[in-house]
Amino acid sequence: MSTLAGREFVKMNGLGNEIVVVDLRRAPGPVGAAEARAAARQEAYDQLMALYPPRGVADVAIRIYNNDGSEAGACGNGMRCVAALLSAETGNTALGFETPAGLVSCRRADDGLFTVDMGVPRFRWDDIPLAKAMADTRAIDLEFKPSGAPSLRTPAAVSMGNPHIIFWVADPAAYDLRRIGPRLEHHPLFPDRANITLAATPSRRHVVIRTWERGAGLTKACGSAACAAAVAAARIDRTERKVTVSLPGGDLAIEWREADDHVLMTGPVEYEHRGRFDARFDAALLTDAETE
């Protein structure tokens, strides 16, 4: 039987970024790519957050799956959702998570918002990673010419636990990101694929973005992309280090803290419903998921 068969889950969202949380702490098991895809067919999600017993001092260990079955290193909106559930369970306002990108801390404020410490951004070409050496990742050597819209060129590249590419544009809504995104996500320059963001900076304290999320597609909100865009903008002095990032699903407060270079993301979460995965998550179902 598969790990997710018959398991309860909680459906939540962070600014419309659809998150499914499944608690595997009492009966841990691996979640395969085909199983994650099958789960997304039953309960549509952008990311699935699987909770495991921590190995160290953290409250929980988390594995993050995109709806195409691939794993992600970070998911800021998903972290806030997990923090909301664990905070309600334990009463704690400060929480720590073990993730593939490292230890992540989160705290709940009195106003009900959650702040995630997304850690230090990485800029070296081989840390992002890129397929070839580039000395300055503030503006990498890449140009893409979409049909019916201005060329996209010299984007910024940042890792926030996963690879992000940010193109500066006058209007992110002027591009058909649903068509552009898959081609750029799989560009040969990005060996691990990449999250593709179109960003504008209408003021020094405001960034507007749309994101094609690696492994998930066009999303209403990508927390790590909001962090990456805010950092990329501050690196070239388009903005201050503390900004509001507007996404299709709403606003996030992002601060690239000068004292230690950590990126803090603050935003809301929303509970949707509870459910249970089909007990018939058997080999036939997984085989069907593999072929879709």
Q: Look up residue 150 and give its DSSP letter.
A: P
For residue 3, is it within any domain? no
For residue 115, is it within any domain? yes
Considering the domain architecture, whether residues 238 and 194 belong to the same structural domain is answered as yes
For the cut 70, the answer to whether the pLDDT of residue 110 exceeds it is yes
For the cut 70, the answer to whether the pLDDT of residue 291 exceeds it is no
Q: What is the pLDDT of residues 191-207, one digit of tens each?
A: 999 999 999 999 999 99
Q: What is the pLDDT of residues 117-126, one digit of tens each?
A: 999 999 999 9
Instruction: Give residue for tokens 């841990």.
Output: 28
Known active-site residue 222: yes
- Looking at residue 180, its pLDDT comes to 95
Domain of 225? 143-261
Considering the domain architecture, whether residues 183 and 105 belong to the same structural domain is answered as no
For the cut 60, the answer to whether the pLDDT of residue 289 exceeds it is no
Considering the domain architecture, whether residues 92 and 151 belong to the same structural domain is answered as no
For residue 201, is it within any domain? yes
- Tell me the C-alpha distance between 194 and 184, whole Å: 8
Known active-site residue 75: yes
- Looking at residue 284, its pLDDT comes to 44
Map residue 229 onto helix, strand or coil. helix
| pLDDT tier at 281, thresholds 50, 70, 90 | low
Q: Check: CB of residue 227 under 8 Å from CB of residue 58.
A: no
Considering the domain architecture, whether residues 14 and 85 belong to the same structural domain is answered as yes
For residue 126, is it within any domain? no
- Tell me the C-alpha distance between 182 and 178, whole Å: 7
Considering the domain architecture, whether residues 24 and 114 belong to the same structural domain is answered as yes
Considering the domain architecture, whether residues 162 and 205 belong to the same structural domain is answered as yes
Considering the domain architecture, whether residues 160 and 218 belong to the same structural domain is answered as yes
Considering the domain architecture, whether residues 22 and 114 belong to the same structural domain is answered as yes
For residue 157, is it within any domain? yes
For the cut 60, the answer to whether the pLDDT of residue 12 exceeds it is yes
Alpha-carbon radius of gyration of the chain: 18
Q: What is the CATH number of the domain that holds 113?
A: 3.10.310.10
For the cut 80, the answer to whether the pLDDT of residue 224 exceeds it is yes
Q: What is the pLDDT of residues 37-77, one digit of tens each?
A: 999 999 999 999 999 999 988 999 999 999 999 999 889 99
Q: What is the pLDDT of residues 131-176, one digit of tens each?
A: 999 999 999 999 999 988 889 999 999 999 999 999 999 999 999 9
Considering the domain architecture, whether residues 155 and 101 belong to the same structural domain is answered as no
For residue 27, is it within any domain? yes
| pLDDT tier at 287, thresholds 50, 70, 90 | low
Considering the domain architecture, whether residues 155 and 93 belong to the same structural domain is answered as no
Q: Check: CB of residue 158 under 8 Å from CB of residue 256.
A: no
Q: Which is catalytic among the residues 75, 81, 106, 227?
A: 75
Considering the domain architecture, whether residues 30 and 115 belong to the same structural domain is answered as yes
- Looking at residue 64, its pLDDT comes to 96
- Looking at residue 234, its pLDDT comes to 98
The number of folded domains in the chain is 2
For residue 212, is it within any domain? yes
For the cut 50, the answer to whether the pLDDT of residue 24 exceeds it is yes
Q: Check: CB of residue 274 under 8 Å from CB of residue 23.
A: no
Q: Which is catalytic among the residues 81, 106, 222, 227?
A: 222
- Looking at residue 285, its pLDDT comes to 55
Considering the domain architecture, whether residues 66 and 168 belong to the same structural domain is answered as no
For residue 2, is it within any domain? no
Measured in degrees and rounded to the nearest 5, phi and psi for residue 33 equal -60, -45
